[in-house]
Chains A and B, each alone.
Chain A
Amino acid sequence: QQQVKQSPQSLIVQKGGISIINCAYENTAFDYFPWYQQFPGKGPALLIAIRPDVSEKKEGRFTISFNKSAKQFSLHIMDSQPGDSATYFCAATLNPSGTASKLTFGTGTRLQVTL
């Protein structure tokens, strides 16, 4: 059962534009929502993360918006650059015991930023 649904599958944005990737989750017990960026041939790199008690978190050009009632969260990349071209994964996890737990990933969004 797909517990984290991610859209779109691919996205083309012009340089300087805003890239928006959306995710929806089913398990209301999830309490940590990270976004990962992956370049070809590399492992995923943590980009930004949010907890459900916060509606928005911003780090540089990257912003997570979180809607707990709708069980949705999204990544906004402002002023998108060609170097942002990569695959982005949303994820969710629950961590009741304070120990590392399994990440449930979305299916990924391939972002291409054109000149």
Chain B
Amino acid sequence: KAGVTQTPRYLIKTRGQQVTLSCSPISGHRSVSWYQQTPGQGLQFLFEYFSETQRNKGNFPGRFSGRQFSNSRSEMNVSTLELGDSALYLCASSLGGNTQYFGPGTRLTVL
């Protein structure tokens, strides 16, 4: 099976812009979670979607949002970008249990 894919792999944006990242989970996986990885804060949970419903949310401002489509693909959106949003954004998919498989991430740089 193909692994988790994320697009794009790299993005450069300027402050104030918005960005949309995409994640395609492993075939058959219905749960998609998003994490932010930074050198200072480490790996932090953003949110999790299952069958198009957000089931869990981390402690991030409302500028961070996401959605999941009927084919389990997921997108996350960050509006009004700030310099501190520069990070590696990771998507993980799961059948619905504890085991989560991560994609390669999208490296977002905010200038």
Contact = CB atoms under 8 A, between A and B. Distances in A.
A12 interface: no
A45 B104 CA distance: 10
Interface stretch (B11-19, B40-48, B67-75, B77-85): B40-48
A62 interface: no
A58 to B, nearest CB: 18
Nearest to A104: B45
Contacts of A107: 42
A32 B92 CA distance: 16
Contacts of A100: 31, 33, 48, 50, 94-98, 100
Interface string B30-41: 010101000000
Main SS class of interface, B: strand
A112 B31 CA distance: 34
A98 B102 contact: no
B58 interface: yes
A50 to B, nearest CB: 11
B74 to A, nearest CB: 13
Interface residues of B, number: 27
Interface string A27-43: 00000101010000111
B105 to A, nearest CB: 5
A104 B92 CA distance: 13
A44 B90 contact: yes
A110 to B, nearest CB: 11
14 contacts: A42-B105, A43-B105, A44-B43, A44-B90, A44-B102, A46-B101, A89-B43, A93-B98, A100-B95, A100-B96, A100-B97, A102-B48, A103-B100, A107-B42
